[in-house]
Structure 1
C-alpha cells in the first residue's frame, strides 16, 4: 500500500489552487476578448458569406442568399475599393515616416541635455493626443476653410482641394499622434544604460553620434512596435476624412476602405459586401503586422 508524503500532497493542492486562481484572474479578460473581438469578428465573417436578393418579381422582399466567397470577389473587383486601398497606401507612405521620424527626433531632443523645461515641452507636444479625433478634425477643418481660417491664405495650395486634401489629412494625423509616439520613444530612451553613453562620451562621441550609434539601435524593438501600430492605424483611417468630408467635395464616400465599408453598411444597406470588405481590411492589417514583426525579429537576430 503506497503512502503519499504530506509534502507531495500539499504541493498538489497548492498547484490546483494556483491553477484555479489563474483561471479566475484570466476569466474577465477572456470574456472581454470573446465579447468585443471574437464574437464580432465571427459575426462579420458570417455576414460576409451572404447577400440580400429580391425573390421573384420583388414582391416578397429581399431574401438572404448564401454566396460563399462571392462578396470577397466583388469587393476585390470593385474599382472604388481598389482606389481606396491606393489612397491609404499613399497616406501610409507619407504619414508614417513623417510622424515617427518627428516623434523620434523630439524624443531624442528631450532625452538630451539641450532642451530646458523638459516637462513643459512634453506636455505641449502630447496635448493634441488628448483632443478627441472628431474635435481635432473640426479644428483643422475650420483652419483650412477659406474666409474662416488662415491656412488657406498662407499655403500655396488649397488644403481642402483635390490636390491638397491628402497633405491636410496627413497633417491632422501627425499633429494628433506625434506626441503619443514621442512619449513611447522617450520612455524607451530612459532605459538606455547611462554607463554606455558615458563610455561613448569619454571616447569622444558627440550628442549626434551617441543618438545615431547607441540610442536609436537600442530602442529599435520599440520603434518596430510603434511602426506596427501606426501601420494598422493607417489602414483604418476614418475619422479625419469623415470630418473633412462635410467641408470639401474632394473626399468621396469610398475615399478610404473604412469609408467604403461605412457607406456600404449604413448608407447602402449592403451588409454582406461591407462585412467582406472589413474582413479583407482586417486580413491586410494582420499580414502587414506579421511582416513588420518578422522584419523586426530578423533585424534583432
Structure 2
C-alpha cells in the first residue's frame, strides 16, 4: 500500500499534476476551458448580428464595385455574365459630373453647417450646466426633442415654412417688401442646413453635457476660491476638459454630412433646384434604383465612405497635433 502511494505521488510530481486530478478527468483544465469560452458565448449574438448587418454588406459593396455585370437581352433573359472590372466602375463614378459636384456641395455644406452647429450645442451645454441655470432638465429635454422626430417628418414640417403661399415667414417678409425664396438654387442648401442644425444640435448637446458632468466639483470650488468668473471657468476649465466630446461630435457631424439623404429627397418635390443627384447618397441611390447600375452605385458608396474616412482622419490628426 505504501509503495503504490509512493508510485502515484512520484507520477504526480513528474507530470506536475496530482494523481487525483488525473483520476477525476482534469477538472481544473475543464474549468479553465469554460472560462475561456464564456466571453465568446456572450459575444456571439452581437458578433453574428454585426457580421450580417455590417461586415457582410460592406464587403459585398466593395466586391460589387470591382465587378461588371453584362446582361444579354432586354431583361437579361439570354444570359448574365459577371467579370472583374478593375477600377472601371470608379472611373464611371468619378466621371459623373453630378456626383463629383454633389461631393463638393456637401463639403461646402459641412464647412458652414458643422461649425455653426458645434458652436450652438457647446453654448447650450455650458449654459444649461451653469450654476445659475434654471430648470436644466426641462430645457435639455426640449432641445433634445427635435432629434426624436424622424428626418422625413422634420423636413415636411419645415417645408410648410419654406413653400410660398404656406409659409408665414414669407408672408411677413412680403409685408415689409422683402422677397424671400427658401427653395431657390442659391438658398435651398442652407434651408437644408437649417433643418439638420435644428434636428441634431440637441443630440450633440447631450454628449457635451455628459462630458461636463464628469468634471470634479473640486475644480469648480478651487476656481471659485481663486475668484474666477463664469466666463473664465468656461474658457479655461470646461472647454479644455470637454475636448474629447467636442472631437467626437464633430467627427459624427462630418460623417453625417456626407450621408445626407432624407432632407433633400423630401424637399425635391417642392424645390426645382434639387435634382436626383443633389447629394452623394442621393446620387448613389439614383444610380442604383433609377439607372439599375448597381456596380457603379457600389463604387459611389465606397467613394463616399472613403471621403468620410479621409476627412475624419484629417480632423483627428489636426486636433491631436494641436493638443500636443
TM-score, normalised relative to structure 1: 0.92
TM-superposed CA distance for 1:119, in Å, is 1.4
User: How far apart are residue 54 of structure 1 and its match?
Assistant: 5.5
- 1:66 pairs with 68, 84, 89, which one? 84
Distance in 2, matches of 1:56 and 1:36, equals 34
Residue 101 of structure 2 corresponds to residue 78 of structure 1: no
Aligned counterpart, 1:258: 281
Q: Distance in 2 between matches of 1:153 and 1:64?
A: 57
Which of structures 1 and 2 has the bigger CA Rg?
2
Is 2:52 the counterpart of 1:39?
no
1:184 to 207, 221, 230: 207
- 1:71-102 deviations in Å (ceiling 9; x for gaps): 01121122111100111101111111111110
Which secondary structure does the structure 2 equivalent of 1:295 belong to? helix
Q: 1:239 aligns with which of 241, 259, 262?
A: 262
1:45, distance to aligned residue in structure 2 (A): 1.4
| Shift in alpha-carbon separation, 1:63–1:192, aligned structure 2, 3 A | same
Per-residue deviation at 1:29? 1.3
Task: Structure 1: give runs of 5+ residues left out of the alignment.
Answer: none
Distance in 2 of aligned mates of 1:92 and 1:174:
11
Q: Distance in 1 between matches of 2:89 and 2:193?
A: 31
Gaps of 5+ in 2: 1-13, 174-178
Distance 1:138 1:99 in 2: 21
Report the CA distance shift for 1:289/1:16 in structure 2 as closer, same or farther (over 3 A): farther
TM-score, normalization: structure 2?
A: 0.86
**Separation (CA, whole Å) in 2 of partners of 1:215 and 1:11:** 52
Partner of 2:15: 2
Residue aligning to 1:114: 132
Distance 2:31 2:119 in 1: 51
Checking the alignment, whether the CA contact within 8 Å between 1:51 and 1:271 is kept in structure 2 is no
Q: Distance in 1 between matches of 2:125 and 2:28?
A: 49
- Counterpart CA distance in 1 for 2:187 and 2:196 is 15
SS of the aligned residue for 2:68 comes to strand
The Cα of 1:120 is off from its aligned counterpart by: 1.3
* Conservation of the 8 A alpha-carbon contact between 1:51 and 1:270: no
Residue number in structure 2 paired with 1:101: 119
1:92 and 1:18 map into 2 onto residues whose CA distance is 48
* 1:235-268 deviation digits (Å, cap 9, x = unpaired): 1111111111111111111111001001001111
Contact 2:67–2:85 (8 Å) recurs in 1: yes
TM-fit CA distance, 1:115: 2.2
**Matched residue, 1:50:** 67
CA positional deviation for 1:2: 2.1
> How does 1:210-249 map onto structure 2 within 5 Å?
210-249=233-272
CA contact (8 A) 2:73 2:79 kept: no
- Is the 1:157–1:164 Cα contact (8 Å) retained in structure 2? no
TM-aligned CA distance change 1:112 to 1:10, over 3 Å: farther
Supply the distance in 1 between the matched residues of 2:243 and 2:123 (Cα, whole angstroms). 14
Partner of 2:147: 129
